[in-house]
């Protein structure tokens, strides 16, 4: 039986980028390294697509190579709204500078596409029970092949076609790597509106793992503004979990917002036309964990039958070296 052990890309200032794939069988280990330009051929791109999909389909075997992936605090989860508990200490968030426009770089990691901010000091996040002020450094997406799947989290069994995470680090740190040495160094948020077209266009230009696009103009506000219009206070759920990609570090305080943001079917079609789809992890067992909410139970509601971008935030407490 085949199991995918690793798919990784090494990006440098000069091209070509090389992609390394390691596949393990019961009797041997096979490695495959090719320059990015070769991966653009029809045959090689199909092989890479198969290997990436194998990594997702073999998610149940991740724990064989990454023990944390079999732990008791894994993410994502299905949130059952009738079982959540109200916590009055979960306050509202303050977004500072998210309306500013920046040049960003875009990179395909094989299991997600990340957008990196060139001026993180200008985009800050505080409140929401966070222990410090954080600055935004990047955002990335998870999506599926149709409008019935794609988000990593689900609410009362309902999944959404896309989920987006905006990664913030503590203001005092110079890089994500520095922040990850702090037990409360990282926080993440997400959202969407019409400017999502710019993001969708960029996704189409980084179709293969390791591809890098420089200087797209973008800002963080369009992922947040509509949700603020929907409610004077962003309502959210809170639970203790993990990263959703190997090594699945159980070091995350998740904040899952109740508000979902609309995305058109036309925008959603980008996922079915690209070689990388289904880039999300299945829901994991709750294993006795408690999910809290920022609003009383009588205020909870889920918007039904919407094509929506799932709105999330999480804080990370641990040593993980990458966010995708």
Active site residues: 111
With a CB cutoff of 8 Å and minimum separation 6, the contacts of 207 are 108, 274, 275, 276
Structural contact between residues 307 and 243, judged by C-beta atoms closer than 8 angstroms: no
Here the tokens at position 318 are 């641990």
Long-range contacts of 126-131 (CB under 8 A, 24+ apart): 126/93, 126/94, 126/96, 127/91, 127/92, 127/93, 127/94, 128/90, 128/91, 128/92, 128/93, 128/236, 128/255, 128/313, 129/89, 129/90, 129/91, 129/238, 130/187, 130/315, 131/184
For residue 158, the 8-state DSSP code is B
Contacts of 39 (CB under 8 A, 6+ apart): 19, 45, 48, 208, 209, 210
Q: What CA–CA distance (Å, rounded) separates 317 from 180?
A: 8
Q: Which of 5, 324, 3 is nearest to 165 (CA)?
A: 324
Calpha distance 103→125 (Å, rounded): 20
In the structure encoding, which two tokens stand for residue 245, read together? Answer: 């990609």
Q: Which two tokens stand for residue 197?
A: 């077209």
């Amino acid at each position: 039986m085949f199991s995918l052990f690793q798919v990784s890309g090494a990006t440098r200032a000069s091209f070509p980028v090389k992609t390394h794939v390691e596949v393990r069988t019961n009797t041997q280990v096979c490695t495959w390294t090719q320059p990015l330009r070769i991966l653009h051929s029809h045959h090689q791109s199909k092989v890479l697509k198969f290997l990436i999909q194998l990594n997702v389909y073999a998610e149940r075997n991740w724990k064989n190579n990454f023990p944390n992936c079999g732990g008791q605090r894994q993410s994502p989860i299905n949130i059952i709204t009738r079982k959540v508990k109200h916590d009055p200490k979960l306050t509202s968030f303050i977004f500072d500078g998210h309306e500013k426009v920046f040049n960003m770089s875009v990179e395909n990691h094989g299991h997600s596409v990340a957008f990196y901010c060139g001026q993180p000091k200008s985009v800050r996040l505080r409140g929401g029970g966070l222990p410090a002020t954080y600055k935004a450094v990047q955002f990335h997406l998870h999506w599926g092949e149709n409008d019935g799947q794609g988000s990593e989290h689900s609410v009362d069994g309902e999944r959404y076609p896309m989920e987006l995470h905006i990664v913030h680090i503590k203001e005092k740190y110079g890089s994500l790597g520095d922040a990850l040495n702090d037990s409360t160094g990282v926080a993440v948020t997400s959202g969407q509106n019409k400017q999502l077209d710019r993001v969708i266009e960029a996704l189409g230009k980084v179709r293969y793992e390791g591809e890098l696009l420089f200087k797209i103009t973008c800002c963080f506000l369009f992922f947040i503004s509509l949700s603020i219009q929907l409610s004077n206070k962003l309502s959210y759920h809170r639970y203790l979990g993990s990263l959703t990609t190997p090594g699945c570090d159980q070091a995350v305080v998740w904040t899952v917002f109740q508000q979902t943001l609309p995305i058109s079917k036309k925008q959603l079609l980008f996922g079915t036309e690209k070689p990388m789809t289904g880039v999300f992890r299945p829901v994991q067992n709750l294993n006795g964990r408690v999910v809290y909410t920022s609003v009383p139970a009588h205020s909870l509601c889920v918007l039904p039958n919407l094509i929506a971008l799932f709105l999330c935030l999480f804080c990370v407490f641990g040593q993980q070296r990458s966010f995708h």
